[in-house]
Amino acid sequence: AKESGKNNCQLYNSIMNEESLQQLVMENALRKALEREEFSIYYQPLVDTETGRISGFEALIRWEHPELGLLSPADFIPLAEATGLIGPISEWVLRKACTQNKAWQDAGFPPLQVSVNLSGCQLQEELVETVSGILAVTGLSPGYLQLEITEGNALQNINDCIERLNALKMLGVHIAIDDFGTGYSSLSYLKKFPIDTLKIDKSFVRDVTNDEYDAAIVSTIIGMARSLHLCVIAEGVETQAQLDFLRDQRCEAVQGYLFSRPLPVEECEKLLFKQMKR
């Protein structure tokens, strides 16, 4: 028994070492990726359910890994969060998305809002200065930037978070709660946070047409948003039936594969052109 205990321990150590080695390799790669600008942003259109027109974009990061190809955020954002690299990465995303949005406006496209995701651990004091600095440098009006935060990770130091969100609000930036309904104490956040928008998580949207609980949850969120004068967006809309349901419920905007996947800049521009000709 003693013997096997030792073996288990060795096995455990070697797994741990392999894992931390892999982590170290990834961490270094991530750092280099930032230097070499291996990241890119894909933009997913948000569509107004009443007019069918694009009402904004969400910026979603991708990593064009030299060997592994296009990596999705799930593959590297958790590591970025754990290592603190999320700070510089997000700053890059913010700058890039604001620059792009301003460029689209300068090119004569109708002004639209761009949404940028923030990890909860990023609601630090510096964030407010970072955001105002980026807005100043890019010349984007604050109202055309929305920051998406998730309830789950904003939990620590709620009062600090509220203070920062208020400061961002004062700048004129919009605040959205992402993945609404999946975190903790959603309703108390609604009361405490200076929120403009609720984004209904795609896990509720998926079965909205064949699960009465999901249907009830989604229509309740939409109704609540309306009563509180918040904008409401449903994410993960893949079928016409889901869209019909959401439109019936007067959900303002939708986002999902039904209309478009996240797209590289040039593809977005094609969509915007097409829309201008309508």
* Binding test (CB under 5 A) with Ca ion, winner from 113, 117, 138, 249: 117
Nearer to ligand C2E, 161 or 237 (CB): 237
CB 255 within 8 A of CB 45: yes
Please tell me whether residue 229 adopts helix, strand or coil conformation.
coil
Could you give the angle at which helices 125-138 and 86-106 cross, rounded to 10 degrees? Answer: 30
For residue 263, give the DSSP letter.
B
Which of the stretches 138-146, 190-198, 227-235, 265-273 binds Ca ion when contact is defined by CB under 5 A? 227-235
User: Per-residue x/- mask for Ca ion, residues 68 to 107, rule CB under 5 A?
Assistant: ----------------------------------------
Site for ligand C2E contains 197 (CB under 6 A): no
| Angle CA 49–90–252, to nearest 5 | 10
Site for ligand C2E contains 75 (CB under 6 A): no
Tell me which residues in 246-275 interact with ligand C2E (CB under 6 A): 255-257, 262
- Please compute, for residue 141, the number of CA atoms within 13 A of its CA located in the half-sphere on the CB side: 8
Site for ligand C2E contains 74 (CB under 6 A): yes
Which of the stretches 12-20, 85-93, 136-144, 229-237 binds Ca ion when contact is defined by CB under 5 A? 229-237
For residue 110, give the DSSP letter.
P
* Binding test (CB under 5 A) with Ca ion, winner from 27, 81, 91, 148: 148
Element (H, E) at 199: strand 197-200
Site for ligand C2E contains 60 (CB under 6 A): yes
- Rounded to a whole number of angstroms, the minimum distance from the CB of residue 15 to Ca ion is 29
Please tell me whether residue 21 adopts helix, strand or coil conformation.
helix
Burial class, 271, CB count within 10 angstroms (exposed 0-12 / middle 13-18 / buried 19+): middle
Which positions lie near ligand C2E, rule CB under 6 A?
A: 44, 60-61, 72-74, 77, 90, 93, 117-119, 178-179, 202, 235-238, 255-257, 262
